[in-house]
């Protein structure tokens, strides 16, 4: 059981953050017909699905979902995606993850997409912890949180509710 005082974002707040990020993505890409929402496998992809749904609800932009497979323990290993490179070539793309910790996962995922020309490339995270060791930033973020290096932020996506909490 998660202690109430460890919760950073409750379900309502998470939904509000996703909606706000969706509007920011729409504003940034309002001239696009299509946008690729690429979520880093597991939680990043779940967040990407939620984000794509809101973007579809609030805008005429067609969203293309893409799952990004990366070994978070050894991110230097090959990165792959659920769609072919031709499907995101010359399109606007938003790379999504749940928590930006050191930036390692995000930077290697960004590197993967740099092999193909893109119209626009942005990043989105639900929680930015401000402990980056790489020069990567979240263009869209739900919340910026200064934590100690020993603390860990976790996001749990349940069927009916989502929470972000500190461990």
User: pTM of this prediction?
Assistant: 0.92
Between CA 156 and CA 137 the distance in angstroms is 23
What 3-state DSSP class applies to 60? coil
Which two three-digit tokens encode residue 15? 């939904």
Give the model's pLDDT for residue 22.
98
How far is C-alpha 151 from the geometric centre of its chain's CA atoms? 20
Q: Grade residue 14 by pLDDT with cuts at 50, 70 and 90.
A: very high
How far is C-alpha 142 from the geometric centre of its chain's CA atoms? 10
Give the model's pLDDT for residue 93.
97
Q: Grade residue 5 by pLDDT with cuts at 50, 70 and 90.
A: low
Q: Which residues pair with 64 in a beta bridge?
A: 36
pLDDT tens profile 68-87 = 999 888 877 889 999 999 99
**Average pLDDT for residues 142-156, to the nearest whole number?**
84
Between CA 9 and CA 107 the distance in angstroms is 25
Set out the domains of the chain in order of their start, with CATH numbers: 4-166 (3.40.50.2020)
pLDDT tens profile 29-49 = 999 999 999 999 999 999 999
Q: Are 22 and 49 in contact (CB under 8 A)?
A: no
Q: Grade residue 20 by pLDDT with cuts at 50, 70 and 90.
A: very high
User: Biggest alpha carbon distance in the chain?
Assistant: 46
Residue 1 has pLDDT above 80, yes or no: no
Which two three-digit tokens encode residue 9? 């974002």
Q: In terms of C-beta distances under 8 Å and separation of at least 24 residues, what long-range contacts does 160-163 make, across chains too?
A: 160/11, 161/11, 162/9, 162/11, 162/14, 162/15, 163/2, 163/7, 163/9, 163/10, 163/11, 163/14
pLDDT tens profile 102-147 = 888 898 899 899 989 999 999 999 999 877 778 788 999 999 987 7
């Amino acid at each position: 059981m998660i202690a109430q005082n460890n919760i950073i974002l409750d379900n309502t707040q998470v939904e509000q953050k996703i909606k706000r990020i969706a509007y920011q993505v729409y504003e940034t890409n309002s001239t696009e017909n299509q946008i690729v929402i690429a979520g880093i496998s597991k939680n990043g992809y779940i967040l990407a699905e939620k984000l794509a749904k809101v973007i579809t609800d609030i805008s005429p932009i067609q969203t293309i979902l893409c799952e990004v497979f990366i070994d978070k323990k050894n991110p230097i290993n090959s990165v792959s995606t659920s769609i072919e490179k031709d499907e995101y070539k010359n399109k606007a793309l938003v790379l999504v993850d749940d928590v930006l910790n050191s930036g390692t996962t995000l930077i290697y995922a960004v590197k993967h997409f740099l092999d193909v020309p893109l119209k626009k490339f942005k990043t989105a995270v639900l929680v930015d912890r401000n402990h980056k060791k790489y020069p990567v930033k979240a263009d869209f973020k739900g919340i910026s949180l200064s934590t100690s290096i020993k603390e860990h932020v976790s996001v749990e996506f349940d069927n009916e509710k989502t929470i972000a909490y500190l461990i």
